[in-house]
């Protein structure tokens, strides 16, 4: 019996299992080729060695709790290969290597390879219940390490993508509950099915709504009005006892229509009162959201800047305007500089003999006034002077336009004058104030004026009549705003008053500033004010209460503007700060500290800052528009140093991080100044979002 059992082992394999010390008579350690030459005691030791060899391959130091199996098993235990072999204590399993490889039959010995093939063949012939019992027996022999391997091997096979079986309507309904663009951006990379679902426009339209992005049909340039001027052609229903509401609207409509036909006949380049568009409309909400998201991210941390020295000395910037076509800068040295929107100098308008203190643009048309008491009309496209309007006897301090052919000027001579820009004559002289007219605001056919005599007056432009006088302030009025429903005035008495234009009554007195309120802007039900005390306050006009109190600057607020998302403030402390309108939190400081900031103006994707730095006046033009194929003109006009290299950073890296990728930055460029020689480029590095790959192509 022992001889038959030993016949399957070769002499060389048996010799490796025997202890060499048992056969002292052999000098070379060889074993006879025939198993009959082996002594009975040696055969018993051989069987013991074979059993121990088999057990050492499968034994484990610790075994988990056995799985529950049926009472009757059709599979014999795998370790019971030799019933007559003595039992051997289990040996510890080998420690796992740092890089474990998947099991491979190519590295198994001949007998192991045969066994695994037989086991697989046998398993395929079993029924469902028998397979379960077979697996239960196998798993009972596994330690924690092997069970972990089984878990990681089986888990992915049990998972199933629900979007593969659900209809599109249910999938889109599920996706509609996700309002985080980072999550949607990651999801679009899961599979082609997910990417197809996330390309649906409805998902991105809902996301635009949740992020308060404007609709695709709401082109901001369609109703563009150069800040802070209100140039809407709509008429406000003035409650005059001498005329009805219908007459007011009809007169305003006829005046605007007739004037437009006349002005286009003599002003080259002024073909329409609506500014030129700079970008083709997006065709999908996915693309629309992508553009808006990239612009908002650049406002938070990014942007490209170009620096342009304006004067060799400390010139005073009296006025700044940013339009879709031009950047216009007026100085106290009687010059007006015209730049394109990238900051390249186009021309200088010369004609005033003293400082320019007020101006207002309308497309290619510009109306300016200053200390020389003249009002001049310019064609910015050619740089030519159209009209020189005379009549004021003192400095022209404020200007507004109600339509392309009508301008209203306010002067220190206490009067307002309404000018016909088509003919160059004065239509009406509005007399009523007792001191200098400091500020104006227009809505339709109505103009509101604020004066140093502490009063504000509502005038009808077409008739030249005073409709209401607003009294209540105790000191000079420096700022005024009018949206057709409310009038807001800021005064040296530190208060802000809200008036009803229909009745002339003061509806609210907003207090909180401790000094002159010289900056004021109203938008919907939100009012933002800035004072000489360095504070910025956000007010709710629905509740007539303060929403945010911002300790913005160390000194006076020199410039203030806000839109639906942010507030940009500039101060005489030389800083420009961006604030979140909803939370009141500081987002970032936009420029390097300067000696003073004169003016700040911004639009959706651009900001212009006039400041004094290093003893001279400089202009910084910040661009927050993404480097897109829709901007070929912008790419060609910009210098090589102002445009970052376009990398291939994945979508998730951009959106998930919420910040620009490391290593992407742009250097500011210095444009040759119109009045002094160009200087060396600045060394300011500004990180910018590489956003071409965001949301894919």
Dump pLDDT digits (tens) for 202-232: 888 888 888 777 765 554 543 444 434 333 3
Model confidence at 443: pLDDT above 90: yes
- Smallest CA-to-CA distance from 449 within 425, 485, 479 is with 479
Q: What is the per-residue pLDDT across 25-59, written as a single tens digit (0 to 9) for each?
A: 444 444 444 444 444 454 445 445 545 555 555 54
Residue 639 makes CB contacts below 8 A (sequence gap 6+) with: 669
State how far the alpha carbon of 215 is from the alpha carbons of 199, 205, 225, 526, 655, in Å. Answer: 18, 8, 19, 21, 22
- Smallest CA-to-CA distance from 240 within 456, 468, 447 is with 468
Residues composing the chain: 697
Does the bond joining 228 to the residue before it have cis omega, within 30 degrees of 0? yes
Angle at 550 between CA 546 and CA 551, to 5 degrees: 135
Residue 283 per-residue DSSP state: S
Residue 114 makes CB contacts below 8 A (sequence gap 6+) with: none
Residue 599 makes CB contacts below 8 A (sequence gap 6+) with: 317, 319, 320, 558, 559, 570, 609, 610
Task: Give domain status of residue 666, yes or no.
Answer: no
Say what angle helices 201-210 and 285-300 make with each other, to 10 degrees.
Answer: 40
Q: Are residues 85 and 202 in the same domain?
A: no
Give the model's pLDDT for residue 281. 60
**More confident of the two residues 646 and 206:** 206
Q: What is the per-residue pLDDT across 657-666, written as a single tens digit (0 to 9) for each?
A: 444 433 333 3
Residue 682 near residue 295 (C-beta atoms within 8 A): no
Q: Are residues 81 and 171 in the same domain?
A: no
- For residue 187, the SS3 value is helix
Task: Give domain status of residue 696, yes or no.
Answer: no
Task: Give domain status of residue 627, yes or no.
Answer: no
State how far the alpha carbon of 620 is from the alpha carbons of 320, 343, 405, 572, 576, in Å. Answer: 12, 8, 32, 16, 11
Q: Which of 248, 263, 278 is the last residue of a domain?
A: 263
Q: What is the per-residue pLDDT across 235-244, written as a single tens digit (0 to 9) for each?
A: 333 333 333 3
Angle at 371 between CA 369 and CA 376, to 5 degrees: 25
Q: Are residues 258 and 174 in the same domain?
A: yes
61 class by beta-carbon count within 10 Å (0-12 exposed, 13-18 middle, 19+ buried): exposed
What is the enclosing helix (H) or strand (E) of 242?
A: none
Q: Which of 87-91, 387-391, 476-480 has the lowest mean pLDDT?
A: 87-91
State how far the alpha carbon of 638 is from the alpha carbons of 82, 87, 632, 635, 642, in Å. Answer: 86, 85, 10, 5, 6
Q: Are residues 28 and 141 in the same domain?
A: yes
Give the model's pLDDT for residue 349. 94
Question: And the tokens for 20?
Answer: 């060499």
Q: Count of domains in the chain?
A: 3
- Smallest CA-to-CA distance from 447 within 406, 392, 495, 405 is with 406
Contacts 24+ apart (CB under 8 A), 118-121: none
Give the model's pLDDT for residue 117. 82
β-strand pairing of 606-613 with 596-602: antiparallel
Residue 628 near residue 294 (C-beta atoms within 8 A): no
Model confidence at 1: pLDDT above 70: no
d(CA 639, CA 606): 17
d(CA 372, CA 335): 12
What is the enclosing helix (H) or strand (E) of 124?
A: helix 110-124
Confidence of residue 403 (pLDDT cuts 50, 70, 90): very high
Q: Which of 249-253, 400-404, 573-577 has the lowest mean pLDDT?
A: 249-253
- For residue 441, the SS3 value is strand
Residue 533 makes CB contacts below 8 A (sequence gap 6+) with: 513, 514, 515, 556
Task: Give domain status of residue 530, yes or no.
Answer: yes
Q: Which of 212, 233, 263 is the last residue of a domain?
A: 263
Please state the φ and ψ torsions of residue 341, each to the nearest 5 degrees.
Answer: -70, -10
What is the enclosing helix (H) or strand (E) of 384?
A: strand 384-389
Mean pLDDT of 384-407: 94
Q: Which of 242, 263, 284 is the last residue of a domain?
A: 263
Domain membership of residue 179 as a residue range: 166-263
Torsion, CA 186, CA 191, CA 197, CA 201, rounded to 10 = 50
Question: And the tokens for 645?
Answer: 């290299």
Q: Are residues 31 and 139 in the same domain?
A: yes
Q: Are residues 480 and 576 in the same domain?
A: yes
Residue 90 per-residue DSSP state: -
Q: Which residues pair with 350 in a beta bridge?
A: 335
Q: What is the mean pLDDT of the chain?
A: 74
Model confidence at 169: pLDDT above 50: yes
- Smallest CA-to-CA distance from 328 within 337, 317, 341, 318 is with 337
Return the number of other C-beta atoms located less than 10 Å from residue 661's C-beta. Answer: 17
Task: Give domain status of residue 235, yes or no.
Answer: yes
Question: And the tokens for 451?
Answer: 């004066």
Residue 447 near residue 400 (C-beta atoms within 8 A): yes
Place of tokens 């030389």: 574
Q: What is the per-residue pLDDT across 188-205, written as a single tens digit (0 to 9) for each?
A: 888 888 888 888 888 888
DSSP H helices in 22-68:
40-58
- For residue 185, the SS3 value is helix
Say what angle helices 201-210 and 168-175 make with each other, to 10 degrees.
Answer: 20
Give the model's pLDDT for residue 54. 52
Residue 133 makes CB contacts below 8 A (sequence gap 6+) with: 69, 70, 73, 74, 75
Give the model's pLDDT for residue 193. 85
Torsion, CA 643, CA 649, CA 654, CA 657, rounded to 10 = -120
Please state the φ and ψ torsions of residue 417, each to the nearest 5 degrees.
Answer: -125, 135
Give the model's pLDDT for residue 280. 55
Task: Give domain status of residue 495, yes or no.
Answer: yes
Q: What is the per-residue pLDDT across 520-560, written as a single tens digit (0 to 9) for each?
A: 999 999 999 999 999 999 999 999 999 999 999 999 999 99
Q: What is the per-residue pLDDT across 321-350, written as a single tens digit (0 to 9) for each?
A: 999 999 999 999 999 999 999 999 999 999
Q: Are residues 139 and 30 in the same domain?
A: yes
Q: Which residues pair with 328 in a beta bridge?
A: 321, 338
Question: And the tokens for 205?
Answer: 């339209």
CATH of the domain at 217: 1.20.1280
Q: Are residues 478 and 581 in the same domain?
A: yes
**Cα 55 vs. chain centroid, distance in angstroms?**
65
Place of tokens 């010799």: 15
Q: Are residues 134 and 173 in the same domain?
A: no
Give the model's pLDDT for residue 23. 43
Q: Which of 92-101, 240-249, 368-377, 390-399 has the lowest mean pLDDT?
A: 240-249
Residue 366 near residue 377 (C-beta atoms within 8 A): yes
Task: Give domain status of residue 98, yes or no.
Answer: no
Q: Which residues pair with 309 in a beta bridge?
A: 618
> Sign of the C-alpha dihedral, residues 97, 98, 101, 102?
positive
**Cα 439 vs. chain centroid, distance in angstroms?**
35
Longest dimension (CA), the chain: 140
d(CA 499, CA 505): 6
Residue 452 near residue 491 (C-beta atoms within 8 A): no
d(CA 378, CA 360): 11
Q: Are residues 134 and 220 in the same domain?
A: no
Task: Give domain status of residue 156, yes or no.
Answer: no
CATH of the domain at 526: 2.130.10.10
Q: Which residues pair with 526 in a beta bridge?
A: 523, 540
Q: Are residues 79 and 171 in the same domain?
A: no
Q: What is the per-residue pLDDT across 463-513, written as a single tens digit (0 to 9) for each?
A: 999 999 999 999 999 999 999 999 999 999 999 999 999 999 999 999 999
Question: And the tokens for 260?
Answer: 């437009």
Q: Are residues 32 and 135 in the same domain?
A: yes
């Amino acid at each position: 019996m022992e001889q038959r059992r030993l016949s399957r082992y070769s002499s060389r394999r048996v010799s490796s299992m025997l202890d060499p010390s048992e056969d002292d008579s052999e000098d070379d350690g060889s074993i006879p080729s025939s198993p009959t030459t082996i002594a009975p005691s040696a055969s018993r030791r051989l069987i013991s060695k074979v059993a121990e060899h088999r057990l050492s391959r499968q034994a484990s130091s610790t075994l988990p709790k056995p799985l529950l199996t049926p009472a009757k098993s059709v599979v014999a235990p795998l370790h019971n290969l030799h019933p007559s072999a003595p039992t051997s204590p289990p040996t510890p399993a080998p420690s796992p290597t740092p890089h474990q490889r998947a099991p491979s039959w190519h590295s198994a010995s001949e007998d192991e390879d045969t066994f695994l093939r037989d086991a697989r063949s046998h398993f395929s012939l079993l029924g469902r219940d028998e397979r379960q019992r077979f697996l239960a027996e196998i798993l009972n022999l596994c330690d924690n390490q092997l069970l972990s391997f089984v878990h990681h091997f089986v888990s992915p096979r049990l998972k199933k993508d629900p979007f593969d079986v659900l209809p599109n309507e249910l999938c889109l309904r599920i996706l509609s509950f996700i309002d985080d663009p980072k999550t949607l951006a990651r999801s679009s990379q899961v599979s082609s099915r997910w990417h197809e679902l996330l390309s649906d426009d409805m998902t991105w339209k809902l996301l635009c709504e949740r992020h308060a992005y404007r609709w695709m049909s709401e082109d901001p340039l369609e109703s563009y009005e150069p800040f802070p001027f209100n140039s809407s052609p709509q008429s406000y229903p003035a409650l005059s006892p001498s005329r009805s509401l219908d007459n007011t609207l009809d007169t305003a409509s006829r005046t605007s229509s007739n004037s437009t036909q006349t002005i286009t006949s003599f002003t080259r380049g002024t073909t329409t009162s609506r500014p030129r568009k700079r970008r083709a409309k997006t065709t999908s909400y996915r693309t629309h959201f992508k553009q808006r998201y990239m612009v908002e991210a650049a406002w938070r941390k990014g942007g490209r800047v170009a620096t342009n020295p304006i004067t060799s000395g400390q010139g005073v910037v009296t006025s700044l305007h940013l339009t879709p076509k031009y950047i216009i800068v007026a100085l106290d040295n009687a010059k007006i500089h015209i730049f394109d929107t990238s900051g390249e100098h186009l021309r200088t308008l010369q004609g005033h003999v003293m400082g320019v203190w007020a101006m207002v643009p309308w497309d290619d048309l510009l109306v300016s006034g200053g200390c020389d008491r003249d009002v001049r009309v310019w064609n910015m496209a050619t740089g030519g002077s159209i009209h020189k309007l005379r009549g004021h006897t003192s400095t022209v301090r404020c200007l507004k336009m109600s339509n392309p052919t009508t301008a209203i000027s306010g002067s220190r001579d206490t009067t307002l004058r309404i000018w016909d820009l088509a003919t160059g004559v004065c239509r009406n002289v509005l007399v009523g104030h007792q001191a200098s007219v400091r500020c104006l605001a227009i809505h339709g056919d109505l103009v509101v004026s604020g004066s140093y005599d502490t009063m504000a007056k509502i005038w009808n432009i077409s008739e030249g009549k005073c409709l209401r006088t607003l009294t209540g302030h105790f000191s000079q009025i420096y700022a005024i705003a009018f949206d057709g429903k409310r009038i807001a005035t800021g005064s040296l008495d530190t208060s802000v008053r809200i008036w009803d234009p229909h009745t002339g009554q003061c509806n609210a007195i907003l207090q909180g500033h401790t000094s002159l309120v010289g900056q004021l802007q109203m938008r919907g039900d939100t009012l933002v004010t800035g004072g000489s005390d360095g504070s910025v306050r956000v007010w709710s006009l629905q509740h007539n209460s303060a929403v945010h109190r911002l300790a913005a600057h160390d000194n006076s607020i020199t410039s203030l503007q806000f839109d639906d998302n942010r507030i940009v403030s500039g101060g005489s402390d030389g800083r420009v700060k961006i604030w979140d309108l909803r939370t009141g939190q500081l987002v970032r400081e936009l420029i390097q500290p300067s000696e003073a900031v004169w003016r700040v103006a911004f639009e959706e994707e651009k900001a212009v800052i006039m400041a004094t730095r290093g003893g001279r006046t400089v202009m910084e033009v910040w661009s927050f528009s993404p480097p897109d194929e829709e901007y070929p003109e912008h790419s060609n006009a910009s210098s090589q140093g102002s445009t970052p290299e376009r990398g291939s950073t994945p979508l998730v890296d951009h959106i998930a991080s919420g910040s620009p990728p490391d290593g992407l930055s742009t250097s500011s460029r210095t444009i040759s100044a119109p009045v002094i020689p160009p200087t060396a480029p600045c060394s300011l590095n500004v990180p910018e979002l590489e956003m071409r790959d965001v949301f894919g192509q």
